[in-house]
Amino acid sequence: MTMLRHEDIESTNLCIIIPAYNAGETIHQVVTSALKHASRVIVVDDGSDDNTAEAASKANAEVIKIDRNRGKGHALKQLFKKAMEDGYDAVISMDADTQHDPNDIPKFIEAHKQYPEDLIVGSRMHEKEKIPRGRYNSMHIARFFISLAANQFVEDTQCGFRMYPLSLVKKFHLTTDRYATETEILIKAGDSGAKIRTIPVNTIYGVNISHFRPVRDIDTITAYVISYLWVKWMIEGFSSSRPYTYTPHNFRDWIGDHKFINNRFMVFTWLTIFPLLFVYLFEYLFLPIFIKNNFASIRRLNRGFLPVFFSAQMLLILVPLGVFDLALRTIGLKVNFLDPFIKKFYPDLWGQKNL
């Protein structure tokens, strides 16, 4: 990778955006080091109880204050809007808790110069040993389903260190507010035909206070992905050669706009996806007699529907297996049922290609 000169950085019309919540201890350091790589940093202080806003503005960031905590996704949407109003072409998003190394910023700028229309996502998956085991496993499984929805392999779907071309972001109607938004963007980008590119970034764990609530947040992300696939496969099953199903304000977006309906729809899809998979399998095998090349996104993988079918059904076994594995480890037995299981049933079907 060639080194970026200072003029290159200056000539790229971008700013850095940081959604922050109770990050008073770290935000000063994050902003100061980010400003070494870009001329402007905008921070959303999302109803923090501490001195996040003061610390950020002391470090020369511009701060948007929100009265009550509304979530990372909501803050990102405010930041996109602000950057668009101010005429930027692209933004780099970073976490506020020093988990992202500002020295990786030039890599994003360089990748953006090469692929200005693509979404560039940082990945920590190359440093597996640095990621807590439970987190790594859930990220591994998540990427299988998110990649299915996004029509391409996305190595690290949960990394908030990204470069967003605003012309791309403008195309989506975003309906989620908290941690699910970053997943929603990946899916909508990929499912409207955009390319998602991965660059390796430094993996930093253990230095920060986390706001991520494993059960609740993973559950919301999973429910969003499943409900998205539920609709996507419904459309793909009955249409010919149509791998990209997302259009703004479609049926799924309409549901997402109505909180009450959305919550029930997500539960409904959770409960019905497993029996529905048999219907999808049937449609995949027999409908092509009438509808050529249906399930185009899956046919492109050249593996048939069965691997997808099994991987989805295996989710039902995964939870008891995980609990069993954990219980045996707790009493001191060095077992590992989970990792080989996950490797086998949630493989990379797309053939991983970075950049």
Ligand X SMILES: Nc1nc2c(ncn2[C@@H]2O[C@H](COP(=O)(O)OP(=O)(O)OP(=O)(O)O)[C@@H](O)[C@H]2O)c(=O)[nH]1
Which helix (H) or strand (E) segment holds residue 185: the answer is helix 180-190
Place of tokens 């980008």: 189
Instruction: Choose the one of Mg ion, ligand X, none that binds residue 342, judging by a C-beta under 5 to 8 angstroms depending on kind.
Output: none
- Do the bridges between strand 14-20 and strand 41-46 make them parallel or antiparallel, or are there none, so unpaired? parallel
CA pair distance 183, 322, nearest whole angstrom:
24
DSSP helix/strand/coil, 219 = helix
Q: Which stretch binds Mg ion (CB under 5 A): 123-131, 134-142, 202-210, 274-282?
A: 202-210
Contact flag: residue 99 with Mg ion (CB under 5 A): yes
Q: Using alpha carbons only, give the angle 87, 43, 249 rounded to the nearest 5 degrees.
A: 60
Cα 287 to Cα 266: distance, rounded to the nearest angstrom: 27
Binding residues for ligand X restricted to 9-38, rule: CB under 6 A: 19-21, 23
253 contacts Mg ion (rule: CB under 5 A):
no
Quick note: the x/- pattern for ligand X over 245-284, rule CB under 6 A, is ----------------------------------------
User: Residue 269 CB, nearest distance to ligand X (Å)?
Assistant: 24
CB 153 to ligand X: min, Å: 21
Under the binding rule (CB under 6 A), the answer on residue 310 touching ligand X is no
The item of ligand X, Mg ion, none sharing an interface with residue 43, based on CB under 5 to 8 Å by kind, is: none
DSSP assignments along 255-276, one per residue: HHHSHHHHHHHHHHHHHHHHHH
CB of 52 to ligand X, least distance (A): 9
Distance (Å, whole) CA 13 – CA 30:
20
Residue 46 interacting with ligand X (CB under 6 A): yes
Q: Which of 14, 42, 44, 277 binds ligand X (CB under 6 A)?
A: 44
Binding ligand X (rule: CB under 6 A), the pick from 72, 112, 143, 197 is: 72
- Which segment (17-25, 91-99, 253-261, 262-270) binds Mg ion by CB under 5 A? 91-99
Q: What angle do CA 112, 197, 209 make, to 5 degrees?
A: 90
Among 96, 146, 185, 255, binds ligand X (CB under 6 A): 96
Strands 196-200 and 162-165 turn out to be unpaired
Stretch that binds Mg ion, among 144-152, 163-171, 208-216, 297-305 (CB under 5 A): 208-216
Establish if 98 lies at the interface with Mg ion (CB under 5 A): no
Largest CA distance in the chain: 66
Q: Using CB under 6 A, which of the segments 3-11, 65-73, 288-296, 332-340 binds ligand X? A: 65-73
Calpha distance 301→351 (Å, rounded): 9
CB of 19 to ligand X, least distance (A): 4
Strand partners, 42: 17, 62
Candidates 26-34, 96-104, 114-122, 231-239; binding stretch for Mg ion (CB under 5 A): 96-104
Q: Verify binding: residue 243, ligand X, rule CB under 6 A.
A: no
Please state, in angstroms and rounded to a whole number, the distance separating the CA atoms of residues 83 and 17. Answer: 9
d(CA 162, CA 326): 33
Interface contacts to Mg ion, rule CB under 5 A = 97, 99, 208
